[in-house]
Amino acid sequence: MMIVMQANASEDDVQAVLQAVQRHGFQPHVSRGEERVVIGVVGEARRAEPDAFLRLPGVARVVPLSRPYKLASREFHPQDRQVRVGSVKIGGGASVVFIAGPCSVESRSQLLETAHAVKEAGAHMLRGGAFKPRTSPYSFQGLGERGLELLAEAREATGLPVVTEVMSPELVPLVARYADMLQIGARNMQNYALLRAAGASGKPILLKRGMSAKLDELLLAAEYILSTGNENVVLCERGIRTFETATRNTTDINAVPALKERTSLPVIVDPSHSTGHWAYVAPVARAAVAAGADGLIVEVHPRPEEALSDGAQSLKPERFARLVEEARAIAAVLSR
């Protein structure tokens, strides 16, 4: 980091900052300009707290020079990383992956019908919620363990690996017993106990961006998982919260190239939550592939008008099948 002194800082101020830097175990490096002094702080920059220096007399600003994450950074790991879920490969030059299924597991017949339909349409993995984080305590909260059993049955029937959300550290062992990949939902992106427990399970993790998380914060959440030794993290852009109310969220399509520049972890996009409206899902899904995403996770329901959750944003299987074709043709343009 650099500590920028005020134009009128005294020599005593400068000396006090130098001592503080050393007291924190870092090496200061002074640069005296015509107008002001700038002090570089050398050492393990990720452990330094800019706050520690901001309150010293004469300090104008503290500017970090390095990104705050390491294990998640492309600098640390330049090659594109590939995450495997069973036989499915995500990222690292693999072809675009399609993950599809209902928002919630509602019943055996609903799930099996959907699983077969999305497989036939070209999906590589099955999604479905057993434990559902719902804004209202009065909304359907999911089937719980029964939902996990049905997901496992659907995997047996179709061969599709399963990803499902885990909402609490103590549920990690249960969900990990059934699922092939654990999803950390947007609301829990900064639930650090959960990130650590999920990481420690050794399962591949699908980490969704929080709805007001900056990209650096998403990467720091990934860093929590990576620091458990689990390298199998897939990042998911799922829409951010903005002032626009015409859509449920705003898909941050810029996040695809911006994340790819910062990290070598795979990046997928969820066009269902990021738009909230089925008619916008296919255009935005195509856009994600065109922007370079490694995959898509899409809500599909055979009869969206009967869905217990997210019916408004679910595709019917036929529409999903057409989307897979379009997305593949776009991926081909980009030689994927």
Residues 128-187 that bind its own copies (CB under 8 A): 133-140, 167-171, 187
Residue type (1 letter), 36: R
Tokens of 174: 């249960």
- Please list every residue from 280 through 319 that binds its own copies, using CB under 8 A: 280, 283-284, 286-292, 304-312
- CB atoms under 10 Å from CB of 261, counted, come to 9
* Residue among 34, 78, 87, 156 that touches its own copies (CB under 8 A): 34
Which of these, 95, 80, 83, 97, lies nearest to 259 by C-alpha position? 80
Q: Is 137 exposed, middle or buried (0-12, 13-18, 19+ CB in 10 A)?
A: exposed
Stretch that binds its own copies, among 89-97, 121-129, 173-181, 275-283 (CB under 8 A): 275-283
Q: Is 11 in the site for its own copies (CB under 8 A)?
A: no
The tally of CA atoms less than 13 A away on the side-chain side of residue 83 is 27
* Residue among 18, 38, 112, 174 that touches its own copies (CB under 8 A): 38
Q: Is 244 exposed, middle or buried (0-12, 13-18, 19+ CB in 10 A)?
A: exposed
* Least spacing, CB of residue 331 vs its own copies, in Å: 10
- Please list every residue from 86 through 125 that binds its own copies, using CB under 8 A: none
* Residue among 19, 22, 63, 146 that touches its own copies (CB under 8 A): 63
As a whole number of angstroms, the distance between CA 235 and CA 263 comes to 10
* Least spacing, CB of residue 203 vs its own copies, in Å: 19
- Is 237 in a helix, a strand, or coil? strand
Stretch that binds its own copies, among 48-56, 89-97, 121-129, 200-208 (CB under 8 A): 48-56
Contact assessment for residue 272 and residue 243, using Cβ atoms and an 8 Å cutoff: no
- Please list every residue from 226 through 255 that binds its own copies, using CB under 8 A: 227, 240-247, 250-255
Chain position carrying tokens 């990209």: 215
Taking the least distance from each CB to its own copies, the nearer of 158 and 314 is 314
Taking the least distance from each CB to its own copies, the nearer of 179 and 240 is 240
- CB atoms under 10 Å from CB of 79, counted, come to 9
Taking the least distance from each CB to its own copies, the nearer of 157 and 312 is 312
* Residue among 206, 211, 235, 236 that touches its own copies (CB under 8 A): 211
The tally of CA atoms less than 13 A away on the side-chain side of residue 268 is 27
Rounded to 5 degrees, φ, ψ at 189 are -60, -25
Q: Is 26 in the site for its own copies (CB under 8 A)?
A: no
Stretch that binds its own copies, among 83-91, 116-124, 150-158, 209-217 (CB under 8 A): 209-217
Q: Is 330 in the site for its own copies (CB under 8 A)?
A: yes
- Is 236 in a helix, a strand, or coil? strand
Q: Is 270 in the site for its own copies (CB under 8 A)?
A: no
Taking the least distance from each CB to its own copies, the nearer of 129 and 161 is 129
